[in-house]
Amino acid sequence: MSNADIKSLGSFVWSVAELLRGDFKQSEYGKVVLPFVVLRRLDCILEQTKPAVLEMAASLPQEMDDEARDTLLSGIVGQDIRLYNLSRFTFASLKGQDAKDIHKNLIDYITKFSGNVRDVFLDKFLFTDQLKRLNDAGLLYQVFDKFSQIDLHPNAISNLEMGYLFEDLIRRFSEISNETAGEHYTPREVIRLIVSLLLINDRDALTGSGVIRQVYDPAAGTGGMLSIAEMEMKALNERIRVELFGQELNPESFAICKSDMLVTGHNPENIAFGNTLTQDAHTGKRFHYMLSNPPYGVDWKKYADPIKDEAANDGMQGRFGAGLPRISDGQLLFLQHMISKMRNDEQGSRIGIVMNGSPLFTGGVGSGESEIRRWMMENDWVEAIIALPTDLFYNTGIQTYVWLLTNRKDKARRGKVQLIDASSDRFWKSMRKSLGSKRREIPPEACDEITRIYSEMLNGGSGWGEFSKIFDTTDFGYREIRVERPLKLAFQVTEEGLAALEEAKPFERLDEPDRKGLVQALLKGLPEGKRWLNREEFERVLGKALRGAGIKLAAPVKKAVLAALSERDEDAAVCTDAKGNPEPDTDLRDHELVPLGQNWRDYVQREVLPFVPDAWVDETYTDAQDGGIGRVGYEINFNRYFYKYVPPRPLAEIDAELKALEAEIAGLLQEVVE
């Protein structure tokens, strides 16, 4: 079937939606049309073997095991998947029935599919609800009749062509219901870019006979990423065998995705329903290619317990041992999950995932995000990160980024990360009509150029600095060192100081006579107006005053007295500990971020001591992993690497504009007065 024929078929199916106008919202068209497409495709597949299946089913004993029954009946159909129908009806025989019985007969037909298919129609598509609505509106037979006119048998339209048809319908329905489209639907040009980036350097490995590749999406949505990945791989090699796997949490999206597998001849059992992060349906599986568009900025609070338990109990042997991101954003959980499914053989795995900016830089040293970035960089898995244009998605206009990861880097890329800024108008064009927040798209020629920049590792040094730069993995890392300043305190008995002492908890716990006695001893034993610039000297005078009053203070109370009667004074002597070492002033404590490639001592000598000569580095503040001084963190700041300076406008130009505005305002006011 030619592309024109597929488009014509798509237009015919699309025209069925016109029958629904008025009785269904536009956003509901897909809930009717897509299940009917699946139903008609399956009917065409099963029609020829239906008599033999019914005969075999009638001969099987009632007590037979369900799995054995499924195997025997599916074997008659001749499919590699569990698929059969035990209803006496087909689309052809349904047309011969009384039109008023169409609703009852279609329910009988649907409910007698094999369990895996029945679940899609009844529990996920909720198709019986749509059939009732169609029947109540008097539209059911008309819609059924339209679909009965289409020949969707594999001999008429291949699995690949069926994939194109289904993908086209999903795109159309998603675009007209764009209030929620971005949640489960990724623009096709974005998927094609990701797939192109994943495959560009694997073309030779994907050609020839006997090639098998497994593709996985942990947030599969309607299956667009999986289907397009297969289409692009088939375009490279028609003989390649592509096995698709996925998991999806939203029931309707899951139904569409699983249906896509059914109508294109894939094993629908490879598409699982449920929460990938808490119920991994593909435990132990490894995949050649993984791609995903997980939800942005969606919190994982309601299912945090099992994730935290896995991280704590399984550590690095589990999926989340590297760290847990903040509870408000689970994107990096999906990425860790995908990394856990990389193959350890010679072929390895490649990952393409689109996320917002948060995973690049959110979280400082020791945070879950920083630790995850560190883990990826130190394992040298990140190949490239591409900044996409804004306004690409249907429900958000935010900036997004494609991350490319692999555990089989080419020699030239080892220890390197390529950053590509594809956000400028060189790489996008405005759409003639906006779809929700989507106002821009990436044209094919821009997709090709981005792919070429990545494939050829074009760098700033070769004239591509505006769009592409290559860094060492360590360039994104730093050590956070703790810089201390000495504590310098002056002491004096003042009304404010005594008031602060009375509010201190250790002082409040004293009996009232003890509280009064302490205050009197301070007022009597410490000269009024006297200011001490040395803590040791003040403590001697304080001790003498207290002994004279017969008072012995517990350590917490004494500490409260010193804190209440002191204030910081640059002219005071440095406070020291029992060993004579200067005590740090926590209020003056600072942290410096030293790039990993630099010696921290040289950095302090150059960047700190010229400005604060009495500062020192706390050498007990060390990294838990490597034991080095300072704690290691990682962040990737695109703006820092691709910042373009825009000079301010000349003052004369601004002044002239202000005068023109003043004149315009004056003219408007004059018109009002007149």
3-state helix/strand/coil string of 312-323: HHHHHHCCCCCC
Q: Are 131 and 107 within 8 A, CB to CB?
A: yes
Cα–Cα dist 101/88, whole Å: 14
> Quick one: pLDDT band at residue 584, thresholds 50, 70, 90?
very high
Confidence (pTM): 0.84
450-507 pLDDT per residue, tens: 999 999 998 876 667 789 999 999 999 999 999 999 999 999 999 999 999 999 999 9
Q: Residue 233 belongs to what H/E stretch?
A: helix 224-236
Q: What is the mean pLDDT of residues 540-568?
A: 94
Site of tokens 């030293």: 594
Q: Are 638 and 646 within 8 A, CB to CB?
A: no
Cα–Cα dist 401/389, whole Å: 9
Site of tokens 């329905």: 173
Q: Are 329 and 362 within 8 A, CB to CB?
A: yes
> Quick one: pLDDT band at residue 62, thresholds 50, 70, 90?
confident
194-221 pLDDT per residue, tens: 999 999 999 888 988 899 999 999 999 8
> Quick one: pLDDT band at residue 4, thresholds 50, 70, 90?
low
* Three-state DSSP state, 576: strand
Q: What is the DSSP letter of 123?
A: I
User: Half-sphere exposure of 422 toward its Cβ, with a 13 Å CA cutoff?
Assistant: 33
Q: What is the DSSP letter of 558?
A: H
Cα–Cα dist 273/251, whole Å: 8
Q: Residue 604 belongs to what H/E stretch?
A: helix 600-607
Interior/surface letters 372-387, b for 16+ CB within 10 angstroms, e for the rest: bbbbbbbebbbbbbbb
Instruction: Name residues whose C-beta falls within 8 Å of residue 668's C-beta, 6 or more positions apart in sequence.
Output: none
Instruction: State residue 669's pLDDT score.
Output: 83
14-50 pLDDT per residue, tens: 788 888 988 898 888 888 998 999 999 999 999 999 9
- Cα dihedral 290→294→296→301 (10° resolution): -120
Parallel, antiparallel, or unpaired for β 477-484 and 438-441?
unpaired
Cα–Cα dist 158/9, whole Å: 13
> Quick one: pLDDT band at residue 647, thresholds 50, 70, 90?
confident
Specify burial of residue 72 (Cβ count, 10 A radius: 0-12, 13-18, 19+).
Answer: middle
Tokens at 372, concatenated: 């995850």
Q: Are 380 and 473 within 8 A, CB to CB?
A: yes
341-369 pLDDT per residue, tens: 999 998 899 999 999 999 999 999 999 99
Q: Are 576 and 570 within 8 A, CB to CB?
A: no
